[in-house]
Amino acid sequence: MPKMTIAEIEALMDQGFPDWRSFSRITDLGERTLTLMMPFRKELLRAGGTISGPAMMALADTAAYFLTLAQAGPVASAATANLDIHFLARPDPVDVVATATMLRLGRRLSVSAVDLHAGADLVAHATITYALPPASRAAHP
């Protein structure tokens, strides 16, 4: 069961990153999953009319971070230790949805898989590892 609700994650983000809501919106929180939607904006496009890779990487990383918060609790200082992404298809200029799944939550690290969809198309897959700060380790024996 998640340790934080959507509302609690949003409140924590509002404190440290007041502009985050212009980038994404949490649409679902499950037992070990979180869904995050990045609304289409023309600023996300690169040459060729597709969503840029950096925007998709940011969405994947944000989804994994929010899922880490949901599972580990309010450890705002958790930091990305590794992000590996595979771009599978060129996304159309539409909303992009990230579905993050917790693969492992340990004392020092959390590991998530994130699938990015543009419409019905799977456009990218990422695995993301977060380093957890020492204070949170006591909560995960």
Q: Which distant-in-sequence residues (6+ apart) come within 8 Å of 47 by Cβ?
A: none
Which pLDDT score, from 0 to 100, does residue 141 have?
45
Report the phi/psi class of residue 94: left, alpha or beta, with left for phi > 0 and alpha for psi in -120 to 50. Answer: beta
* Predicted TM-score (pTM) above 0.75: yes
Residue of higher predicted confidence among 132 and 138? 132
CA dihedral defined by 117, 85, 125, 105, rounded to 10 degrees?
-120
Q: What is the pLDDT of residue 138?
A: 43
CATH homologous superfamily for the domain 6-137: Hotdog Thioesterase (3.10.129.10)
pLDDT tops 50 at residue 49: yes
Cα distances from 132 to residues 12, 21, 41, 49, 77, in angstroms, run 16, 24, 32, 37, 8
- Beta-strand runs (E) in the chain: 25-29, 33-38, 45-46, 50-51, 79-87, 96-105, 109-118, 121-131
User: In this structure, what token pair is assigned to residue 50?
Assistant: 């597709």
- Cα–Cα distance for residue pair 13/8, rounded to 1 Å: 9
**What tens digit of pLDDT does each residue of 62-101 get?**
999 999 999 999 987 899 999 999 999 999 999 999 999 9
Q: Tell me how crowded residue 9 is: count the other CB atoms within 10 A of its CB.
A: 20
Identify the sign of the CA torsion 119, 54, 16, 67.
positive
Map tokens 């994404």 to a residue.
Answer: 24
